Structure 1
Amino acid sequence: MATIAIVNPLFEVSYWGMEHAQAIMGTRANMPVASLPLLAALTPEEHDVTLIDENVEPLDFDRLAQFDIVGVTGMSVQRFRMDEIIQELKSRGVFVALGGPWVTVEEDYFHGLPDVIFVGEAETTWPQFLEEWKTGDHQKRYEQADRTDMTTVPTPRHDLLKNKHYMFGSLQFSRGCPFQCEFCDIIVTFGRKPRIKLASQIINELECLRSEGMRIAFIVDDNLIGNKRGIKPVLEEVAQWQERNGYPLAFMTEASLDLCEDEELMELMARCNIQAVFIGIESPNEESLKETKKFQNVRERGGTLLEKIHQIQDFGIEVWCGLIVGFDNDKPDIFAMQTKFLKESRIALAMVGLLHAIPKTPLHARLRQEGRLDLNDDQPFGTNVIPKQMSRETLRAGYMKTMFDAYTPDVYFDRLDQLYIQDRFRLRAFETEAFRKRPLMRLRHATFYTVGFGVLFWKLMRGTPDRELRKIYRQRIFNLVRHRFTNPSVCFYYLTKCAMHYHQHKMTQQMIEHPDTFVSTIGKSMRTRREATIEQQAPLPVLRNDPPHTASAAECPPHASRSHSR
């Protein structure tokens, strides 16, 4: 028997991390990375497993030195902390296993320090390694020959996490995406053929999350609807579970923009209580979308980009989005275009990021061939991409201004109020047939959101240190209540947007005040949306590193600029 610790390193401040909002919400991290509990589930029962997330508890290296094996996982934005942890562990003679998204794309980054590395998914290689480790005949490098059959993945050990310290939980339905976005490493790591779990597997995991007291969870799939035909019967089973159990869980997820084309699918998602979707919009510049092969965002079916977003919002599912600046077809006017687009889209929560070329992606290969990659690990402009139609200084300055404009309080709340007050956004999940037919369930949920509203308001007023921001939040909240007091769920979620605004506003403020120190860490501390997604879904082989995904040596909701977006 081996004693095994699996470690998720500390994240730096990022879009997805919500670090500045944690104190307000009374939590330490937004959500657990999915690979940790999955790797624990993949570990044979004869071994003793401990999960350690540095985002919710400090690392005790003296304690770690007592384990037979210490697994470390991580994304690119965690690579510096990963390196520190590995060096400290090796100085103490610890056996180190390394996996996750970063080592999957940069196998030589840690200069041979780890005793073993895992590349890609690890559902078969992690148990194989443990068996070979017992005989002293393990390999130095493991990579699965075939992609994981998702119907064989065990229920993650959520019970081994310190769940009380997370804002919400995480789980995964599928892996893979059918599209071909040039900058995306998801299709490199997980392939373009979506693989979906059985409904029974997902129901088991829902029961596990429910038993751990979770009320909200992020479905970390990079694109939940990558296989629309395949996911519909699964969603039907989840919807029936929600209806039987009185809707104990609320979800957020990631999906592609073509969701708007399928009302049956949106209705199924609403019945599952999926209340918000993160969509990779990337850019209002159609030439940039075509350049990066994001064709699903430019096809004529469904209308314009804005019309597609509005269709999803008007149906009753809130839209969050990812935006990118720095494509080859982006000129200096792209920053004003992004600001205008955000206003017209009514999207309050937007993750704006600089285009970054992840190793092994088509974008990385192309730019390297063109001599337009900054191969320096310490990138003073926040990205390794050398833009084509503007200087690096212009790109960096424009990016910071776009972020500043997006999260200036009046601008942010004008977008939010346009959706919630003027256009009277309503969550479709609470208007489905199951809700309409069950008045007691409606009353129970109304009570939950009403009490939750009061608790969150108290936390927000008590925890926001900026007096002027507290005043703005209070005024905006009172204005919302005057118009929407009969809809407690809308009031509750409006307050969560206030807390999330505080994080984004604070993060942007720090970036503006210290551009050289803060922006230079964007490439490392703000994970690309796509990476974040990856981690949450792949069962990182022992060292996963993103939000909450599955267990893959590479893996991914949602810290910083999660590059998930389909």
Structure 2
Amino acid sequence: MKALLLYPLFPQSFWSYDRPMKMAGLKSVIPPLGIITVAALLPPDWEIRFCDRNVSLETDADWDWCDLVILSAMLVQKPDFHALIQKAVRLGKKVAVGGPYPTSVPQDALESGADYLILDEGELTVPKFLEALAQGKTAGIFRSIDKPDVTTSPIPRFDLLQMSAYFMMAIQFSRGCPFNCEFCDIITLYGRKPRTKEPSQTLAELQTLYDLGWRGSLFIVDDNFIGNQRNVKRFLRELIPWMEQHNYPFTFITEASVNLAEDDELLQLMIAAHFYAVFLGIETPDHDSLHVTQKVQNTRNSLVEACSKINQAGLLIYAGFILGFDGERTGAGDRIQAFVEETHIPQPMLGILQALPNTALWSRLQREHRLVEEMHTTATGDQNALMNFIPTRAIAEVAKEYVEGFWMMYEPAKYLRRSFQQCLNISTSTNEQTMKLPLGKGLHVVAQLIWHQGIRRPEIRGQFWQQLWQILLKKPQALNIYLFLCLTGEHFWEYRVLARKRITEQLGYDPLIVSGLRENVKQRSEESVIESKISQTFSYSASRSNQN
């Protein structure tokens, strides 16, 4: 079998870092770990070609050569994903698809013409697909309600990657999360019982990357790295001597729940293993909203104190925030802004709540007849999309707080000030844990930064040089992290313009959305309550339409 594995294009998004990637001479932030793991599950006698379309495009010769096209996609990749399915159909090629998007909304892939849907987790469903192929079946949907033992997962085919095109590499240690946040689809996709690989298994993946020549930062893509604290500590205790023996070739970033701050030993192990940053799902400083969305783990202790402790332990903090929870009080956006300024989180990911398919939130809103199908999240797949349900306060009010909040938090002077203060707050150990650019990229990036922020931009030129000098004097160990934050600021200063434009366009008068909202309202028993909310949105949209 000749299989062409394709990874669809990403639109410009919060995490795409488009401009910084160009400045650094790179193509993409991280490689697609899922599809190169699927590649490792395919028979060894298959011929495989792989293209991450975010790095380089496949050729006409690749399409002519293949018997089968295999695609994996997330929601945000929807447009290119469907375009590739339809191209394969036109060319008479069989198409197999998988990944989070087809798993959540399989009907979309079927309607575009996909032949084989390899859903859920590949360790269990790829073998079913291969068996169907061997039996000569020309189509099929392959699912499993069971969760695989990830200790059986193979080493991903890192050798298929153009490694020099990526900012960082990626591995996975665990799947699943023990918490029960209503809006989250991770527990729907991967379950609430975190499953982990063996330490030796993960070290073998790191050794593979090391042998292929990778040196630099590495993203452990777990949705909650500390979901199984016992096993993660086992891994870290074996990772620390491996890193020392290999002269610290990598530094690590991952995602974790805020209760990381409650475990001093875990923090110390992560620092000793050369973790330099963590992404925290904070969502909101409003405790009533945290209870509504069942994120009670964030209410046990002060979120400000938790961030301070993680920072002082030695980790840079990234964090996610959400607007639009049921019962949310006016000014939620202002309170998020105040929290971000107090904690000096450089890159807050602010989004408007979306009901993702099959989540607890989706099911509840469906029962309440509050979902608006025409506005579902796959329309843009990014954080700057209006909610796809009828909220408990005016959509226009939430949208205004989102646009103003995102715009103000990424005002260049404020952004650089937070980045500077966060770096000063980071405690650094003797064995430095810091962000590392791929080999040969550092000097080029510094030269680009000096030109763009130290010379070309008069509004931040003085601040750039003053803060850079202070970092060199007070915290030279944090210099790489600080320069990286300066670099990625170039992305957010452009992206906030795009975010404002997207929201403004969605607030325009759209008959399809209006129709969908009205139809949903008719199905509700408390019609009058919601009608008042919708009328505010309609009047706002109509006034904008008249102005335009």
Q: Normalising TM by the smaller chain, what interval?
A: 0.7 to 0.9
- How far does residue 207 in structure 1 lie from its aligned partner after superposition? 1.2
Contact 1:34 1:171 in 2 (8 A): yes
2:308 is the alignment partner of 1:310: yes
2:145 is the alignment partner of 1:156: no
When residues 138 and 506 of structure 1 are mapped into structure 2, their CA distance, relative to the original with a 3 A threshold, is same
SS in 2 for 1:351: strand
2:275 is the alignment partner of 1:274: yes
Contact 1:169 1:217 in 2 (8 A): yes
Contact 2:216 2:437 in 1 (8 A): no
- How far does residue 515 in structure 1 lie from its aligned partner after superposition? 4.2
Higher helix share: 2
Contact 1:99 1:118 in 2 (8 A): yes
Note the 1:25-174 alignment, pairs <5 A.
25-61=24-60, 63-112=62-111, 113-137=113-137, 140-174=140-174
- How far does residue 387 in structure 1 lie from its aligned partner after superposition? 4.9
Residue equivalent to 1:542: none
2:211 is the alignment partner of 1:237: no
2:416 is the alignment partner of 1:413: yes
Residue equivalent to 1:489: 477
Note the 1:309-458 alignment, pairs <5 A.
309-377=307-375, 382-421=385-424, 423=425, 425-427=426-428, 430-431=429-430, 435=431, 454-458=443-447
When residues 483 and 46 of structure 1 are mapped into structure 2, their CA distance, relative to the original with a 3 A threshold, is closer
Contact 1:449 1:489 in 2 (8 A): no
Residue equivalent to 1:531: none
Aligned AA for 1:467?
R
- How far does residue 292 in structure 1 lie from its aligned partner after superposition? 0.6
Aligned AA for 1:392?
I
Aligned AA for 1:266?
L
Residue equivalent to 2:450: 461
When residues 488 and 405 of structure 1 are mapped into structure 2, their CA distance, relative to the original with a 3 A threshold, is same
Deviates more, 1:75-84 or 1:506-515: 506-515
Aligned AA for 2:331?
D
- How far does residue 108 in structure 1 lie from its aligned partner after superposition? 0.7
Residue equivalent to 2:526: none
When residues 451 and 147 of structure 1 are mapped into structure 2, their CA distance, relative to the original with a 3 A threshold, is closer
SS in 2 for 1:109: helix
Distance 1:446 1:369 in 2: 46
Residue equivalent to 1:534: none
Aligned AA for 2:397?
T
Aligned AA for 1:506?
E
Per-residue CA distance 1:308-337 (angstroms, 9 max, x = gap): 111110111111100011101223311111
- How far does residue 111 in structure 1 lie from its aligned partner after superposition? 3.7
Contact 2:119 2:125 in 1 (8 A): no
Distance 1:59 1:160 in 2: 14
Instruction: Give the superposed CA RMSD.
Output: 2.7
- Between the two structures, name the one with larger relative contact order (CA 8 Å, sep ≥ 6): 1
Residue equivalent to 2:228: 227
Per-residue CA distance 1:457-486 (angstroms, 9 max, x = gap): 1132356799327x6267424433234346
When residues 18 and 372 of structure 1 are mapped into structure 2, their CA distance, relative to the original with a 3 A threshold, is same
When residues 278 and 363 of structure 1 are mapped into structure 2, their CA distance, relative to the original with a 3 A threshold, is same
The TM-score, its normalising length taken from structure 2, stands at 0.86
Distance 1:243 1:291 in 2: 45
Residue equivalent to 1:260: 261
When residues 518 and 414 of structure 1 are mapped into structure 2, their CA distance, relative to the original with a 3 A threshold, is farther
SS in 1 for 2:73: coil
SS in 1 for 2:445: helix
When residues 156 and 467 of structure 1 are mapped into structure 2, their CA distance, relative to the original with a 3 A threshold, is same
The TM-score, its normalising length taken from structure 1, stands at 0.83
Distance 1:87 1:519 in 2: 31
- How far does residue 25 in structure 1 lie from its aligned partner after superposition? 1.4
- How far does residue 445 in structure 1 lie from its aligned partner after superposition? 9.4
Paired positions, count: 501
Residue equivalent to 2:218: 217
Aligned AA for 1:27?
L
Contact 2:177 2:194 in 1 (8 A): yes
Q: Which residue, out of 471, 490, 499, partners 1:511?
A: 499
Distance 1:519 1:134 in 2: 51
Distance 1:377 1:62 in 2: 38
Which consecutive residues of structure 2, in runs of 5 or more, have no partner in the other structure? 509-548
SS in 1 for 2:486: helix
SS in 1 for 2:6: strand
Distance 1:290 1:446 in 2: 35
Per-residue CA distance 1:141-166 (angstroms, 9 max, x = gap): 00124211111111111011111111
Contact 2:182 2:359 in 1 (8 A): yes
- How far does residue 402 in structure 1 lie from its aligned partner after superposition? 0.9
Distance 2:439 2:231 in 1: 37
2:489 is the alignment partner of 1:501: yes
- How far does residue 137 in structure 1 lie from its aligned partner after superposition? 3.1
Contact 2:3 2:46 in 1 (8 A): yes
- How far does residue 490 in structure 1 lie from its aligned partner after superposition? 0.8
When residues 516 and 92 of structure 1 are mapped into structure 2, their CA distance, relative to the original with a 3 A threshold, is farther
Deviates more, 1:54-63 or 1:404-413: 54-63
Aligned AA for 1:228?
Q
Distance 2:202 2:110 in 1: 39
Contact 2:327 2:393 in 1 (8 A): no
SS in 1 for 2:374: coil
Contact 1:36 1:51 in 2 (8 A): no
Distance 1:450 1:149 in 2: 36
2:13 is the alignment partner of 1:10: no
2:176 is the alignment partner of 1:176: yes
Distance 1:319 1:418 in 2: 12
Distance 1:364 1:298 in 2: 23
- How far does residue 128 in structure 1 lie from its aligned partner after superposition? 3.3
Residue equivalent to 2:520: none
SS in 2 for 1:97: strand
Aligned AA for 2:224?
N
Aligned AA for 1:411?
K
When residues 367 and 476 of structure 1 are mapped into structure 2, their CA distance, relative to the original with a 3 A threshold, is same
